[in-house]
């Protein structure tokens, strides 16, 4: 899979509004995924088990992106990973 960046978007036209990170210290509480929301120069932190985004690609195909604590499978789980980013697309996306 090759990384593709749109030439239609200039990152200078965007601002960071939130970010997610994994915090091992919060593992004890069972909510190691941390949301950081940026409001002006202020940052607001929240703790969660993960996130889910429902989006559309440039051809208007729906995409689901999610990352949940304890959702790992296969080799990632076997190696000790605690969270896995998963991207889902409709099975019929190429037929439309």
Model confidence pLDDT, tens digit, residues 44-93:
989 988 999 999 988 889 999 999 988 888 998 999 888 889 999 999 88
Asked whether residue 76 is domain-assigned, the answer is: yes
Q: Tell me what pLDDT residue 19 has.
A: 92
Asked whether residue 72 is domain-assigned, the answer is: yes
Which tokens hold the place of 30?
């069972």
Do 63 and 88 touch, CB atoms closer than 8 A? yes
Which tokens hold the place of 54?
């429902």
Q: Tell me which residue has tokens 């239609």.
A: 8
Asked whether residue 59 is domain-assigned, the answer is: yes
Instruction: Indicate the number of domains in the chain.
Output: 1
pLDDT in tens, 1-44: 566 667 778 888 988 999 998 888 988 888 889 999 998 888 89
Q: Which domain holds residue 54?
A: 14-89
Asked whether residue 40 is domain-assigned, the answer is: yes
Asked whether residue 4 is domain-assigned, the answer is: no
What is the C-alpha to C-alpha distance for residues 9 and 58, in angstroms, rounded to an integer? 12
Asked whether residue 96 is domain-assigned, the answer is: no
Do 65 and 89 touch, CB atoms closer than 8 A? no
């Amino acid at each position: 899979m090759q990384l593709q960046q749109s030439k239609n978007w200039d990152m200078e036209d965007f601002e960071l509004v939130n970010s997610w990170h994994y915090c091992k210290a919060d593992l004890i509480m069972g909510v190691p995924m941390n949301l950081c929301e940026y409001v002006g120069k202020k940052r607001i932190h929240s703790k969660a088990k993960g996130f889910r985004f429902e989006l559309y690609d440039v051809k208007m195909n729906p995409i689901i992106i999610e990352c949940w604590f304890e959702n790992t499978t296969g080799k990632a789980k076997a190696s000790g990973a605690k969270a896995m980013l998963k991207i889902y697309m409709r099975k019929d996306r190429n037929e439309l």
